[in-house]
């Protein structure tokens, strides 16, 4: 398949490697142009929390599209409602809205740089497709935008700060719910606060998916600035930056023509009203945990060298080798299970009841098709490091020496 699209977005593919052309979605299902019905665990990289076509969101968007909730021209009640709900859920002295998580993270970093008068940023994780996050020529050195990626290694972070903490504008970390535990975040907070360096938490993927609020900020640690996006509007294009007035004052001068676009605000208002009780997140976790338990049973029965990391709201299949991973996802695709290959899986609220049972049966058939193929292959430390590298763009949280850190990075870069 050829296309004149001048970008390379991430999208699901079929068994032939061509883009999977999806013609519709309902609940936990999506439909392709061949009439096949897939069970969706990708959900637009975790953006669709409630399920496709969730009635409350669809009704609100439809009303707004017909002119019933104001216009793009100016202020509406919806923007006050969205800001008030985000403030209750996530805190922050000031909150600014953007269209994408990538734009919001860039804006947050830019604001903190202006406020502190410093340029150097210490970063970990994927912050969206943006040239500012490009890899430097040398490991743990600044790139062209004066950003150093410490790859989630807190010993490296502490060393970089001890070398020049007066020149660091901020630490920005994409929070992860699969490979990082509470102790990691607590140490991160201690490192940042003891050196008086602002901490920006990028919760674009994780915010609101796990609880009615931010996954990390306000729970384990206090962030100076936070960013969320994917849980706000069930897949509609909106993101938010919140935090200290002093640090975010430069954002007062930011805006864009479609700032008051009513359908997006309506989607956010409807979604936030549902997730702020926490009942949605509890159900997603419960249903996802049920799937994981059944999936682990199917994997064990088939004797496959695959683990599942994480919990029901967001999890990852950890495969022993690249070959196992490739064949596993091919078998899943043959059963019309739409996974995000190699990365995180993010079930929606709609994965419940009969469709949850159907997903389990499809998964069992996929595992059965692979039974006995890798009897002598086992999960190793390399398998787990590789999985974390692909899921969070950094190093798994295992004890290691500085020399081992460099060795792991060298090996993992060769797997790209």
The two tokens of residue 266 are 């309506």
Asked if residue 65 and residue 34 are part of one domain, the reply reads: no
The two tokens of residue 181 are 């535990």
Residues of the chain below pLDDT 70 = 1-2, 416
Asked if residue 345 and residue 249 are part of one domain, the reply reads: no
Long-range residue pairs from 317-320, CB within 8 A, at least 24 positions apart, any chain: 317/345, 318/379, 318/383, 318/384, 318/387, 319/383, 319/387, 320/374, 320/377, 320/378, 320/379, 320/380, 320/383
Domain boundary among 275, 310, 342: 275
Asked if residue 332 and residue 271 are part of one domain, the reply reads: no
Give the CATH number of the domain where residue 261 resides.
3.40.640.10
Note whether residue 218 is domain-resident. yes
Residue with tokens 């919140």: 242
The two tokens of residue 149 are 């990626």
Note whether residue 214 is domain-resident. yes
Asked if residue 240 and residue 193 are part of one domain, the reply reads: yes
Cβ within 8 Å of residue 84, ≥6 positions away: none
Number of domains forming the structure of the chain: 3
Asked if residue 123 and residue 254 are part of one domain, the reply reads: yes
Note whether residue 376 is domain-resident. no
Domain boundary among 256, 275, 294: 275
Note whether residue 5 is domain-resident. no
Which domain range does residue 302 map to?
22-40+279-370
Residue 410: per-residue pLDDT: 94
CA distance between the termini of the chain: 24
Asked if residue 215 and residue 169 are part of one domain, the reply reads: yes
The answer to whether 367 and 297 are in contact (CB under 8 A) is no
Smallest CA-to-CA distance from 234 within 265, 277, 279 is with 265
Asked if residue 166 and residue 267 are part of one domain, the reply reads: yes
Residue 3: per-residue pLDDT: 81
Note whether residue 12 is domain-resident. no
How far is the C-alpha of 360 from the C-alpha of 367, rounded, in Å?
11
Note whether residue 15 is domain-resident. no
Asked if residue 392 and residue 352 are part of one domain, the reply reads: no
Note whether residue 45 is domain-resident. no
Residue 415: per-residue pLDDT: 81
- 348: Cα separation from own chain's centroid: 14
Note whether residue 50 is domain-resident. no
Asked if residue 191 and residue 270 are part of one domain, the reply reads: yes
Asked if residue 146 and residue 111 are part of one domain, the reply reads: yes
Residue 179: per-residue pLDDT: 97
Asked if residue 292 and residue 271 are part of one domain, the reply reads: no
Asked if residue 271 and residue 285 are part of one domain, the reply reads: no
Residue 1: per-residue pLDDT: 60
185-234, pLDDT tens digit by residue?
999 999 999 999 999 999 999 999 999 999 987 777 889 999 999 989 99
Give the CATH number of the domain where residue 32 resides.
3.90.1150.10
Kindly tell me the sign of the dihedral angle through the C-alpha atoms of 339, 340, 343, 346: negative
| Half-sphere exposure in the Cβ direction for 93 (13 Å, CA) | 12
89-107, pLDDT tens digit by residue?
999 999 999 999 999 999 9
Percentage of residues in the chain having pLDDT higher than 90: 90
How far is the C-alpha of 155 from the C-alpha of 140, rounded, in Å?
12
Q: Please list, residue by residue across 343-361, b when 16 or more beta carbons sit within 10 angstroms of its beta carbon and e when fewer do.
A: bbbbbbbbbbeebbebbbe
């Amino acid at each position: 398949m050829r296309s004149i699209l001048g970008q390379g977005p991430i999208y699901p593919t079929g068994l032939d490697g061509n883009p999977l052309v999806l013609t519709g979605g309902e609940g936990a299902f999506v439909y392709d142009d061949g009439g096949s019905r897939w069970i969706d665990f990708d959900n637009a990289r975790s953006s669709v929390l409630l399920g496709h076509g969730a009635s409350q969101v669809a009704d609100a968007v439809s009303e707004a599209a017909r002119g019933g909730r104001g216009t793009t021209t100016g202020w509406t009640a919806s923007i006050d409602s969205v800001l008030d709900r985000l403030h209750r859920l996530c805190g922050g002295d000031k909150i600014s809205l953007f269209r994408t998580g990538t734009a919001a993270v860039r804006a947050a970093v830019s604001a903190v740089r202006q406020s502190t008068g410093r340029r150097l940023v210490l970063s970990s994780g994927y912050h969206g497709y943006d040239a500012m996050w490009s890899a430097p020529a040398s490991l743990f050195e600044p790139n062209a935008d004066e950003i150093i990626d410490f790859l989630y290694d807190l010993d490296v972070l502490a060393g970089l700060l001890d070398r020049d903490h007066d020149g660091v504008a901020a630490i920005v970390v994409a929070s992860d719910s699969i490979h990082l535990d509470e102790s990691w975040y607590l140490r991160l907070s201690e490192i940042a606060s003891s050196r008086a360096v602002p901490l920006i938490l990028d919760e674009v993927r994780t915010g609101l998916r796990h609880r009615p609020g931010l996954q990390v900020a306000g729970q384990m640690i206090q962030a100076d600035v936070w960013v969320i996006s994917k849980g706000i509007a069930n897949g509609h294009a909106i993101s938010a930056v919140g935090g200290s007035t002093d640090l975010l004052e430069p954002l007062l001068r930011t805006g864009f023509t479609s700032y008051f676009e009513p359908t997006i605000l309506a989607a956010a208002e409807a979604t936030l009203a549902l997730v702020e009780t926490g009942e949605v997140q509890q159900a997603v976790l419960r249903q996802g945990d049920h799937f994981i338990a059944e999936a682990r049973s199917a994997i064990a029965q088939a004797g496959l060298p695959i683990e599942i990391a994480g919990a029901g709201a967001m999890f990852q299949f950890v495969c022993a080798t690249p070959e196992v991973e490739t064949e596993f996802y091919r078998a899943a695709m043959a059963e019309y299970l739409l996974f995000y290959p190699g990365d995180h899986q993010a079930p929606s609220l709609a994965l419940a009841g009969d469709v949850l049972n159907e997903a389990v049966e499809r998964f069992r058939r996929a595992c059965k098709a692979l039974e006995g193929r890798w009897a002598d292959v086992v999960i190793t430390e390399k398998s787990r490091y590789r999985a974390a590298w692909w899921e969070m763009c950094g190093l798994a949280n295992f004890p290691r020496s500085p020399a081992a850190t460099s060795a792991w990075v060298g090996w993992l870069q060769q797997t790209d």
